[in-house]
Amino acid sequence: MATTTKQVIYIESKPCTKKAKTKKRWLSPSSINAYMRCPRNFYYSKIAKLKQKPSIYLIRGIAVHNAIEKFYKHKINQCGDMDYSTLRKIVTELIRDEWLVQKKSIRKLDLKKDELCLFIQESKNMMFNFLHDFIKDKGFEKRAPVIEKTFFSKKHMLLGRIDAIYNNRDPPLLVDFKTCKSKEVSDDYKRQLGIYALLYEEHFHTRAKVAIHFLKFEDGFKKFRISDKYIEKIKTIVADIHDRTQSDNIDEYPCTCGWCDKNFETKTNSKNEPNR
């Protein structure tokens, strides 16, 4: 049976007799990438916990991820006797329902109707690409992946939520779904996959393969092997960012991107809040 509930795994390190002198925050692929893009971005999102302004890209990403989760939750993966046109109808309904859930957030964006329709159509095509790949991979005959599972490593104060985990493959496979417009595997994505492999290995003592499914493309499934060297590099990056993010003082997090004040709902750019 598919395990679709969000699960949490704690990886405990050995009990520490000495009290830690330094304050460490939990880091995730998104917070690490935020810091590497711009320290101020990290400060706003992870320390000040300001809300990022919503975007249609974010909303579409959530809708598609949730629709895939529902595909397994409703056990569509066990309906191998259904014809293709029925399956297409089902995934269309799954994504349509998710857009309806997001209605309130979409309204705030003030998009033109045509623009919104384009995003909805694109997300429908993404679901077809997902379905196409599922069938090509003989998904009906295989055990369902574990969907959206969060791993925690206390040792590295690191966490990551993995979209789909195929534990029964040799080697196991960790998949991240992307709804972006390019198939380019950026450094951000590489780090994210490296972190997933590191977290998985700490828990299961085995090196998983990792993959990105670029859902905008028909042949968007890309697999990668993570080397020992890259795992070590990730550990160094994580330790380094822990060292650099101990302070709560905004001045130690300069903006290097020039966009932070526009992307976050800060007091200085909020119309409703006077500057003090």
Minimum CB distance to Zn ion smaller for 80 or for 254: 254
Q: What is the DSSP string of 55-95?
A: -HHHHHHHHHHHHHHHHHHTTGGG-TTS-HHHHHHHHHHHH
Task: Give the shortest CB-50-to-Zn ion separation in angstroms.
Answer: 12
Task: Give the shortest CB-269-to-Zn ion separation in angstroms.
Answer: 13
Parallel, antiparallel or unpaired: strands 173-178 and 146-153: unpaired
Minimum CB distance to Zn ion smaller for 48 or for 185: 48
Contact 120, 140 (CB under 8 A): no
Residues 25-54 that bind Zn ion (CB under 5 A): 38, 40-41
Minimum CB distance to Zn ion smaller for 231 or for 250: 250
Residue type, 130: F
Q: Is the peptide bond before 171 cis (omega within 30 degrees of 0)?
A: yes
Minimum CB distance to Zn ion smaller for 121 or for 256: 256
User: Rounded CA gap, 61 and 129, in Å?
Assistant: 15
User: Rounded CA gap, 164 and 209, in Å?
Assistant: 12
Q: How many CB atoms lie within 10 A of CB 185?
A: 14
User: Binding-site residue total for Zn ion (CB under 5 A)?
Assistant: 6
Task: Give the shortest CB-255-to-Zn ion separation in angstroms.
Answer: 3
Q: Which stretch binds Zn ion (CB under 5 A): 43-51, 90-98, 211-219, 257-265?
A: 257-265
Minimum CB distance to Zn ion smaller for 36 or for 120: 36
Task: Give the shortest CB-236-to-Zn ion separation in angstroms.
Answer: 24
Q: Which stretch binds Zn ion (CB under 5 A): 172-180, 209-217, 241-249, 259-267?
A: 259-267
Task: Give the shortest CB-44-to-Zn ion separation in angstroms.
Answer: 8
Residue 257 near Zn ion by CB under 5 A: yes
Residue 67 near Zn ion by CB under 5 A: no
Minimum CB distance to Zn ion smaller for 38 or for 210: 38
Q: Which stretch binds Zn ion (CB under 5 A): 75-83, 151-159, 234-242, 247-255?
A: 247-255
Minimum CB distance to Zn ion smaller for 38 or for 94: 38
Q: Which stretch binds Zn ion (CB under 5 A): 28-36, 55-63, 135-143, 248-256?
A: 248-256
Residue 255 near Zn ion by CB under 5 A: yes
Choose which of 131, 146, 199, 260 interacts with Zn ion (CB under 5 A): 260
Minimum CB distance to Zn ion smaller for 47 or for 82: 47
Binding region for Zn ion (CB under 5 A) = 38, 40-41, 255, 257, 260
